[in-house]
Amino acid sequence: MNKNILNIVLKRKELFVPLVFTDKQFNVLGKYNKKEKLSNAEKKALYTSIKKKIKALDSFFIEQKDREYFINGPAEIIPSRLIEAKKIIDKYSRKYDRLFVSGSFLFSKEFNDTDLFIIREKGYKEEWDGNTHMIFLSEKRLAAPVFQSASLISVANFMLPNKINKKKPSLSELMGLYHEAIIENMKEEKKPESIRNLIFEHALFCSNKLLNGKELKEMSEKIKLDELDRLIKELCEKLFSETYLYVEVHDYIKTLNESIKNIKPNEHLIRFRNTYEEMIYGRQRSKAKAV
């Protein structure tokens, strides 16, 4: 049941009772909204009559809503794609309440699919409808940086909330991310997810900047190995204490030294070791020089 319609009805009883709903039906709506337990008779009324009336009212709301779009980052959107995006919003608005189109479809000549984000009460899932990649997520999850970033260039049928939930990653997570980013770069991966994530986290935590999809795409296409090394060093120095870094990374360097003997090809492992040595011993050396 569309919550917006429900709230409008509940707030304006005098408009809807008795013309559309009976007093009893209105009370059932109130109980349903407060998630109170309904009797069998009330449940029957809800499903056989009340929901159908709400659905009919909803159709007016959809017609109205179809003409309203909230466009974020309009300068970055290719005009023909904006028209397409509005059509997608119109099509899916009939079924879903709050949604937005985002991703490279809006700003890049080449794209694989169209990302359609659909806000729902809880849970996350992805589905495909032809070439439309449907991402169902809760409003809470929308606050995650990756989705806030997606919303920066988007076409929506509602005002997207501008609140970000920044969660500090663990050292282990960041190191894993760096390793995968280096591997992606060495393999010239076409869709380098980890490179994008590393650039994204660096901008978020070191510059307090939320990068949009276009910036991320351009930066991840150009970035070199040395720059990835720099990003992880700066991120770790920003997020963790010197002592903690020393203890954790020092141990991992020992592991890497062993692994370098065991594994071929190992140029990526050698690179990790060098970066980590520079991260912890470089700091000490520069301190010693200063003393």
Partner 1 sequence: MEGKEAKQKLFEIFGTSIKFNKDFENYASKLKEGIANGFIEWCRRCSENKELGSVPQKKEFKHLYVFFRKIDSDIRATLIKEQNRDFIEIRLEGHKGYDDTRLNLGYKKSSYYGS
Please give the size of the binding site for partner 1, defined by CB under 8 A: 40
Strands across the sheet containing 132-138:
70-72, 154-156, 98-102, 114-120, 132-138, 125-129
d(CA 139, CA 103): 18
For partner 1, the closer CB: 6 or 256: 256
Of the pair 32, 276, the CB lying nearest partner 1 is at 276
Q: Which amino acid is at 207?
A: S
Element (H, E) at 166: none
Positions in 187-216 near partner 1 (CB under 8 A) = 187, 191, 193, 196-197, 213
Per-residue interface string for the shown chain with partner 1, residues 102-131, x marking contact by CB under 8 A: -------------x--------x-x-x---
Question: Residue 18 or 130: which CB sits closer to partner 1?
Answer: 130
Taking CB under 8 A as the rule, does residue 218 contact partner 1?
no
Closest to partner 1 by CB, 163 or 190: 190
Interacting span for partner 1 (CB under 8 A) from 14-22, 49-57, 246-254, 279-287: 246-254
Among 172, 207, 274, 284, contact with partner 1 (rule: CB under 8 A): 172
Residue 239 CB, nearest approach to partner 1 (Å): 13
Other CB atoms within 10 A of residue 285 CB: 11
Told to check if 239 binds partner 1 by CB under 8 A, we report no
DSSP 130-159: TTEEEEEEEHHHHTSHHHHHHHTSEEESS-
DSSP assignments along 3-26, one per residue:
HHHHHHHHHTHHHHTTTTS-HHHH
CB 155 within 8 A of CB 137: no
Q: Which residues contact 167 (CB under 8 A, 6 or more apart)?
A: 144
Interface residues with partner 1 (CB under 8 A) are 115, 124, 126, 128, 133, 135, 146-147, 150, 169, 171-177, 179-180, 183, 186-187, 191, 193, 196-197, 213, 248, 251-252, 255-256, 258-259, 262-265, 268-269
